[in-house]
Amino acid sequence: MAFELPPLPYAEDALEPAYSARTISFHYGKHHKTYVDTLNKLVAGTDLEGKPLEEVIGAVAGKADKQPVFNNAAQVWNHTFFWNGMKPGGGGVPGGDLGDKIVATFGSHEKFVEDFKAAAVGRFGSGWVWLVADGGALKIVSTPNAEMPVPPVAPLLVVDVWEHAYYLDYQNLRPVYTQTFFDKLANWDFAAANWAAVK
Ligand code: MN3
């Protein structure tokens, strides 16, 4: 069984205008798809062929000679997580246990978003900024390139800060893109379910 590009959880134009159909057509239809296609070529005929994606990532993480496999496998996983972390009519202030925990941890929702934006700006080059659960605590962490949080640290929500994620809509304005993610796009139901599974 080859890896397949997972379907988007909404229509390509469903996040307009905060995240345009044009951006998704490239970001999902070209970038994400290319990671899937390249991963399939890299594992074809190896002992990794037919293994679940998480197993492939775990098997090659930290192995220099397997870096291309890790990069493509991790990018497949990260992008699927990213798409699930947005929804039409998303964003705003989360309620429930996760919302309470964010306020308790960061001081306020607004301060959380400010800290997250600072992490996004502070990520030099390409990478990802994550809200994670770490031993019952919430943290904001950023990872370079295709890297992801390593268990037992559990990702709850992610913002892709590779330029391909935002350049068509926001040009170089990574802080505006990140602010808009939390104002209009974040799928807090997804993050809350991830939190409930690990807290
Ligand atoms: Mn991307």
Helix extents (H) in the chain: 21-26, 33-43, 53-60, 67-84, 96-106, 109-122, 167-170, 174-180, 188-198
Cα(146) to centroid(ligand 1), Å = 9
Residue 1 has pLDDT above 80, yes or no: no
Task: Tell me the C-alpha distance between 160 and 190, whole Å.
Answer: 16
Interhelix angle for 96-106 vs 188-198, to 10°?
A: 80
Residues around the ion ligand 1 (C-beta < 5 A):
160, 162, 165
Domains and CATH numbers, the chain: 21-84 (1.10.287.990), 96-198 (3.55.40.20)
Residues 4-36 have pLDDT tens digits of 999 999 999 999 999 999 999 999 999 999 999
Instruction: Read off the tokens for 27.
Output: 């970001």
What is the pLDDT at residue 181?
Answer: 98
**CA of residue 28 to ligand 1 center, whole Å:** 8
107 Cα to the center of ligand 1, angstroms: 30
Q: What is the pLDDT of residues 136-156, one digit of tens each?
A: 999 999 999 999 999 999 999
* pLDDT > 70 in the chain, percent: 100
pLDDT score at 199? 85
